[in-house]
Amino acid sequence: MLLGLVSGEADAQSLLGAREWLPPGSLSLENLSQRPAERLEEGRNFYVAFGRLAFRSPDILGGTARKAGLSCQACHANGFATHAFFIPGLSDRPGRIDVSHAFWHLRGEDQRDNPLDIPSLRGVKTKDRFGHDARTASLRDFTRRVIVMEFAGDEPDALLLDALVAYQEKLRPVDETPQPVTLQQDLADILDHLDALRVPLGEENVALAGRIATMIRGQLGFIHERFADEDMRGSRAALEDWSRQLVGIAMLAENGQWPQARQHLATLRNAIAAPPSALAADLPRSLYDPARLKVWLNTPAR
């Protein structure tokens, strides 16, 4: 656990996990190198911030989705539909997927080959029916069904559902503007997630602090994977160190050392806001570079 990013449940993988657990042909250069700009309504609170993190965290799901490092974000990138999402055997066209399939959850298998369009979640706040057959009248119920029945996740608690609903309701119904996936944005997101962690540290809530720290470590794991070469030691070590710092913060919380935990978080936040130069130096050779990523995608796994 302490060794962090290389193994264990916090290792939420988008590249490596997907390569291991999804059929060949599931990873798309387009999905991994571009994302629509996020654009949220004004007025963010902790629920929105925690929901935003949970939306990107495979560990709220179970089964294959979790192992493959897929989160809500994989199919609904920044709340839009991921048009290029395609899993051979479960998709008939890009942007469509069978979500009632034993591949995800044995209990959800409906004995039908029925891929559905992945919808954009933009503007869900104003909808009163959800799903292609308008079967559900509540966003909260639909979200619970997605987690538990489609993707074999544990029963979500009230806070997790409140947060996921709060985030989804902030998704402004705007046009899609594709943006490159960048280290800069991913690090800015980590800072945003760290701000969410301030709340349970202020409330002195051990369980929630641990849970959020674990989710943030998962997000750091995604960044770590992009620095794939063993010789990118400086970059990999920095990311692993930050992940370890989060374990340290969770441990301080567990020991009731709240002022130290809060101090440690502030220090970590400063470190990530001024990242070591190794990261920038390795960036052109990392999998943030679309050309490198393309080569990586075309290189068969071990």
Binding site for ligand HEC (CB under 6 A): 65, 70, 72, 74-76, 97, 99, 116, 118-119, 121, 124, 127, 130-132, 139, 142-143, 146-147, 164
Q: Which residue is nearest to ligand HEC (CB)?
A: 72
Q: What's the closest the beta carbon of residue 227 comes to ligand HEC, in angstroms? A: 25
Residue 148 CB, shortest distance to ligand HEC, in Å, is 10
Q: What is the rounded CA–CA span in Å between residue 229 and residue 287? A: 9
Residue closer to ligand HEC, measured from CB, 133 or 230: 133
C-beta of 119 vs 173, nearer to ligand HEC? 119
Name residue 259's amino acid.
Answer: P
Nearer to ligand HEC by Cβ, of 72 and 166: the residue is: 72
Distance of CA 245 to the CA centre of its chain: 20
Residue with tokens 């290029």: 84
Q: Compute the distance between CA of residue 116 and CA of residue 114 in angstroms, rounded to an integer.
A: 6
Are the CB atoms for 46 and 203 separated by under 8 Å? no
CB of 206 to ligand HEC, least distance (A): 25
What is each CA distance from 176 to 36, 48, 108, in whole angstroms? 6, 21, 32
**Residue reference for tokens 């390795």:** 282
Residue placing its CB nearer to ligand HEC in the complex, 112 or 132: 132
| Complex with ligand HEC: residue 26 or 235, whichever CB lies closer | 26
Residue 52's closest CA among 246, 157, 176, 192?
192
